[in-house]
Structure 1
Amino acid sequence: MSRVLLRLVLLLALPAVLVTVWWLASAGSTNVYWPPLRTILQAFPDVWTADRLRSDVLPSLLRLAGGYAMAAVVGVALGTLIGSSPRVRAVCEPVLEFLRAVPPPVLVPVIMLFAGIGDTMKVAVIASGCVWPVLLNTVEGVRAVDAVMAETARSYGITGVARLRHVVLRSASPQIFAGLRQALSIGIILMVISEMFAASNGLGFTIVQFQRGFAIPDMWTGILLLGLLGFVLSVVFRLVERRALGWYHGLRASTRRSR
């Protein structure tokens, strides 16, 4: 119980310090673009009502989930294929490096030409940015599969889907989850950017509308909500990762204790 309490204190200590500094630094502000934190917090419940959460936040989260899931499936599948074959990797690596260097926001106008301005475009933008960390980390994870483990599996007749599931993906899973963690933060950024270009709802659209209408405290509440959503999604991801990689964290803990 004490360890859980200590971890909770460590988790909330820095945010509490930052909020305190923000509160004190903005307390006497008369700048219209930098309102006091007190004013922003007072406006928060009036702006983000249940109806607005349903009409703006929920569509954003659904687009994020769709693009993120698509990137995860494509990234893991292609990464496993490329990482398993040196020849395929040699052929694909120059193209992958070229495409990875293209910033995803630059592709928004191009994707709009083919996918329109609906939800399909926004999901495609999120997927196009999230796929690279997943794919590249999967490639490296598959390449790093222990040779002795792979040979042992082969000698025991573990081949095909069973080998892929129990040897390759299991061994590469810590690296894959590292890519998924990076992709989550990229996905949140692209979710907002895609909604700023062409949308009729969503967090990015709403924040821009507040800015254009000079509703500055309301705009800051949207930014604050976006940060809170990112924090919650990060905590949820960490819990899922802990559960999925329980064997890996247990192995690392036992290795540290043996030292």
Structure 2
Amino acid sequence: MRVTRGRPRLSWRAVLAAAGLPVLLVLLWWLVGGLSFYLPGPDRVARAFAGTWFSRRLLDDVLPSLLRLLAGYAVAGLVGVGLGVPIGLSPRLRATLEPVLEFFRAIPPPVLVPLIMLLAGIDTPMKVLVIVSGCVWPILLNTVEGVRALDEVLSDTCRMYGVRGASRLRRFVLRGASPQIMAGLRQALSIGIILMVISEMFASSSGLGFTIVLFQRQFEIAEMWSGILLLGLLGLGLSLLFRRVERRVLSWYHGSGAARA
């Protein structure tokens, strides 16, 4: 990687290194594709992808899935940070709640799907709650650890200068814990995509999970693989988008690290 005027610029070598493994995987797929009915070649999957997802299904299945994912992710973020901050600030509250939190965290979220269906029905609220039930834990626990590890010297400094209330929460607590909070949000994003698909496989009539299972039951194998490919592309796109947001939110943190180096 070459540096020009203080900004990193990718070289051709770095681009080729990043693209090398995907190209090799596609070539391998091309070689073994077609040897089995259940493993179509990339050309068939590409045609199925264009015919399936560049159509009405983009609005009927992909968009509802993304909206449920974003809704569940946002609720989990608010709940995780909202509960994690007071728990992290209070050693007594943390000691009281830690066994309960560890108990519920150990329960796999897919196991809760039948229970959530009984409580919330089979519509969109159920699917959002399933996503929340899995995404909230990495956000909550990382927030607790980030708040608990705040610098005591900075805390005393805030107290001496009269920085209290909402100003202390915004400028010291949330800012100081933001690297851990963003780490929890990053983990929750991948969990949310998995739970989005799982929630749509139960008593659903739309969404990516429902459509992929429908293709499998109708033996439309190329279309099923195109749905799996779309999920991977969506996950990649959301990950890259999150990385940009994280870089902007934590610009002060990375900048201080670069200055120390």
TM-score range with shorter-chain normalisation? over 0.9
Counterpart code for 1:156:
Y
Cα deviation for residue 47 of structure 1 reads: 1.1
1:20 aligns to what?
A: 27
Cα distance between partner residues in 1 of 2:162 and 2:247: 31
1:151 matched to 2:156? The reply is yes
Pick the structure with more helix per residue: 1
1:56 matched to 2:61? The reply is yes
Matching residue within 231, 234, 240 for 1:235: 240
Cα distance between partner residues in 2 of 1:9 and 1:160: 51
The residue correspondences of 1:26-175 to structure 2 (distance < 5 A) are: 26=33, 29-175=34-180
Counterpart code for 1:195:
E
Indicate how the Cα distance of structure 1 residues 9 and 79 shifts in structure 2: closer, same or farther if over 3 A, else same.
farther
Cα deviation for residue 44 of structure 1 reads: 1.1
Q: Could you tell me the TM-score, scaled by structure 1's length?
A: 0.94
> Partner of 1:117: helix, strand, or coil?
coil
- Deviation digits for residues 66-85 of structure 1 (CA, Å, limit 9, x no counterpart): 00000000000100010000
Counterpart code for 2:151:
D
Matching residue within 236, 243, 255 for 1:250: 255
Counterpart code for 2:92:
R
Identity %, equivalent residues: 63
Query: Please, which runs of 5 or more residues in structure 2 have no aligned partner?
Result: 3-7
Indicate how the Cα distance of structure 1 residues 196 and 172 shifts in structure 2: closer, same or farther if over 3 A, else same.
same
Indicate how the Cα distance of structure 1 residues 76 and 60 shifts in structure 2: closer, same or farther if over 3 A, else same.
same
Counterpart code for 2:218:
G
Counterpart code for 1:223:
I
- Deviation digits for residues 135-160 of structure 1 (CA, Å, limit 9, x no counterpart): 00000000000011111111000011
Query: Please, which runs of 5 or more residues in structure 1 have no aligned partner?
Result: none
Matching residue within 230, 233, 243 for 1:225: 230
